[in-house]
Amino acid sequence: MTTETTPRQPSFLERLLFGTTLDKVPTLIPGVLLAVAVVVASVTLADLINSALGFDGLVSFILIAILLGMLIRNTVGLADRFTPGIQYSLKKLLRFGIILLGIRLSILDVLEIGIYGIPIVVGAVLTGLIVAIGAARKLGLSDRLGALIAIGTGICGATAIVAAAPGLKAKEEEVAYAVANITIFGIAAMVLYPFLGNLIFSGDIINTGLFLGTSIHETAQVAGAGLIYDQSFNITATPSVADIAVVGKLVRNVMMVLVIPGVTYLYAKNVRKQGEAAGEGTRVLDMIPVFIVGFLAMAIVRSIGDAAVDGGGLAFGLWGEETWGDITHGIRTWAEYTLGTAMAAVGLGTSIKQLRGLGYKPFVVGMAAAISVGVVSIGLVSIFGPLISL
C-alpha cells in the first residue's frame, strides 16, 4: 500500500528568487540559457546591422531579441524542457530587471512622474474598461470575457487577467482568449509605439515615456518598448524613456488593487440578481506587485548615495563620486541585459499557432480597447506631460 505525499511548497525565499523549490532549480537552466543565447546573438546582430548602415543604435538589440525568439519558437520549435526557464525569465528575471532600473532615478523623480501619471493612468484604465466591455456585449460575448480583456488592456496584462479570473468566475477558454489579446496587441504596440511616440511627441522624452507606460499592456512589453526607444534614438540622458515608461506602468500596476475588486464586486452583484453563483474572492495582497517596492527601494538608494556625493562626502561612507558613478552605471547595464533576457523569453513564449485558432471576435474587442486606450493616452499625455520638469 502506497501513500501519496503532498509536494513540498517553496519557502518564501525560494518563491521570491526562483518561484519553485531549490531541488527544481536545475529545470530552469535550459530555458534561461536559451534566452541568454538569444540576447547574445541579438547584440551581435544589432552591432553588425548598425555598423553596415552607419548608424549607431538605429536597430535595437531588444527588438531583435523579441523577433528572433518568435522566429525560433514558430519555426524550429521548443522542447518542453525549455518551458520552465522561459517562464522564469518572463516572471522573475523581468521583475529583477525592473527593480535594478530603479537605480536610474531619484525618488523625487519617481514621485513626480507618478503623481502626474495618475490622471493619465485613470483615463486609460476607464477607457479600457468601458470600450472592451461595451464591444464584448455588441459582439455577443460574455461580460466576463469583456472584463478580462478590459483589465488586461487597461492595467497589467496577463497578471491582472489571472488575478481577476477567480472573482469573475471566468472559464479557462475566456482566460486564454484574454491573454492571447494581450500577447498579440501588446507585442505589436511594443514594436510600433516607440516610433509612433517619437513621431507624435517630436522626440520629447517625458511625453513619449508616459505614452509608452500608459498605453502598452504588459510590464515586460512596456520595459521592452522603452529600451527599444532608448537604443533606437541613442538616448543616454537620465531619466530615459525606459525609466519614465516603467514608472508610468508601475502606477498602472498599483491600480489592480482598486480596479479588480471593484469589477469583481459589480460582476458578483449582477450575477446574484440573475440567481447565479458568484466567483471566488481575490485577496488584495495577491494583487500588490512586490517588485514595485524593490524599484522604489533602489531609487531611494540612488538618492541617498547621490546626496552624499553631491555634498562632498562618500556614498554610504564607502565610495567616492567616480566609484559611485561606476557602480550605478554597472547596475543600469545589468538591468538592461536582464530585461533583454526577459524580452527574448517574450518571443520564445509566443506561439502563433496557438493564437490562430481562437476566433476573431475577442480580437476585435482587444483591438478596439487597445486603440482607444492609446488615443486617450496621447490626449492626456499632451495635457499632463508638459507639467513634469525633471
Phi-psi label, residue 13: left if phi above 0, alpha if psi -120 to 50, beta otherwise: alpha
Distance CA 103, CA 99 (A): 8
Contacts of 385-388 spanning 24+ positions with Cβ under 8 A: 385/116, 385/201, 385/204, 385/206, 385/207, 385/210, 386/207, 387/116, 388/112, 388/113, 388/116, 388/206, 388/210
> Average pLDDT, stretch 68-87?
92
The CA–CA distances, whole Å, from 299 to 118, 308, 332 equal: 19, 14, 12
Q: What is the pLDDT of residues 133-144, one digit of tens each?
A: 899 889 888 878
pLDDT value, residue 214: 92
Distance CA 292, CA 144 (A): 28
> Average pLDDT, stretch 178-198?
89
Q: CB count, 10 Å around CB of 9? A: 9
> Average pLDDT, stretch 75-99?
90
The CA–CA distances, whole Å, from 222 to 155, 180, 301 equal: 12, 17, 24
**Contact at 8 Å (CB) between 221 and 186?**
yes
pLDDT tier, 45 (very low <50, low <70, confident <90, very high otherwise): very high
> Average pLDDT, stretch 285-308?
81
The CA–CA distances, whole Å, from 193 to 181, 188, 199, 220, 385 equal: 17, 8, 9, 14, 17
Count of CA atoms in the C-beta half-sphere (13 A) of 291: 21
- Which has more pLDDT, 366 or 4? 366
Distance CA 153, CA 186 (A): 8
Maximum mean pLDDT: which of 55-59, 159-163, 197-201, 330-334:
197-201
The lowest-confidence range among 121-135, 239-253, 257-271, 324-338 is 257-271
pLDDT value, residue 316: 92
- Which residue matches cell numbers 522603452? 226
Strand partners, 315: 319
Is pLDDT of 285 > 90?
no
Q: What is the pLDDT of residues 312-337, one digit of tens each?
A: 899 999 999 999 999 999 998 898 88
What is the percentage of the chain residues whose pLDDT exceeds 90?
Answer: 35
Distance of alpha carbon 331 from the chain centroid: 20
Distance CA 90, CA 12 (A): 19
Query: Which of 191, 182, 175 has its CA nearest to residue 152?
Result: 182
Distance CA 109, CA 121 (A): 17
- Which has more pLDDT, 281 or 201? 201
Query: What predicted TM-score, i.e. pTM, was given to this entire model?
Result: 0.83
Distance CA 105, CA 87 (A): 28
**Contact at 8 Å (CB) between 102 and 231?**
no
Domain ranges within the chain, ordered by starting residue: 23-387
pLDDT value, residue 355: 66
Is pLDDT of 146 > 70?
yes
Per 3-state DSSP, what percentage of the chain is helix, strand, and coil (rounded to 5)? Answer: 80, 0, 20
- The greatest distance separating any two alpha carbons of the chain, rounded to the nearest whole angstrom, comes to 73
Is pLDDT of 67 > 50?
yes
What is the percentage of the chain residues whose pLDDT exceeds 70?
Answer: 90
Is pLDDT of 4 > 60?
no
Distance CA 333, CA 335 (A): 5
pLDDT value, residue 319: 93
DSSP state of 349: T
> Average pLDDT, stretch 231-250?
89
**Which helix (DSSP H) or strand (DSSP E) does residue 156 occupy?**
none
Residue type, 275: G
- Which has more pLDDT, 155 or 45? 45
Give 319-346 as a DSSP string. Answer: B-HHHHHHHHHHHHHHHHHHHHHHHHHH
Where would I find the H helices in 139-255?
143-151, 157-168, 172-200, 205-215, 219-232, 241-254
pLDDT tier, 1 (very low <50, low <70, confident <90, very high otherwise): very low
Q: CB count, 10 Å around CB of 286? A: 12
Query: Which of 329, 299, 315 has its CA nearest to residue 108?
Result: 299
The lowest-confidence range among 16-25, 156-165, 341-350, 380-389 is 156-165
Distance CA 48, CA 37 (A): 17
> Average pLDDT, stretch 374-379?
94
Query: Which of 366, 384, 362 has its CA nearest to residue 123?
Result: 384
Q: Cis bond leading into 239, ω under 30°?
A: yes
pLDDT value, residue 198: 95
The lowest-confidence range among 13-22, 154-163, 271-280 is 271-280
Distance CA 248, CA 241 (A): 11
Is pLDDT of 274 > 60?
no
> Average pLDDT, stretch 105-130?
87
- Which has more pLDDT, 279 or 300? 300
**Residue 340, Cβ density class (10 Å: 0-12 exposed, 13-18 middle, ≥19 buried):** buried
Is pLDDT of 343 > 70?
yes
Is pLDDT of 57 > 70?
no
pLDDT value, residue 278: 47
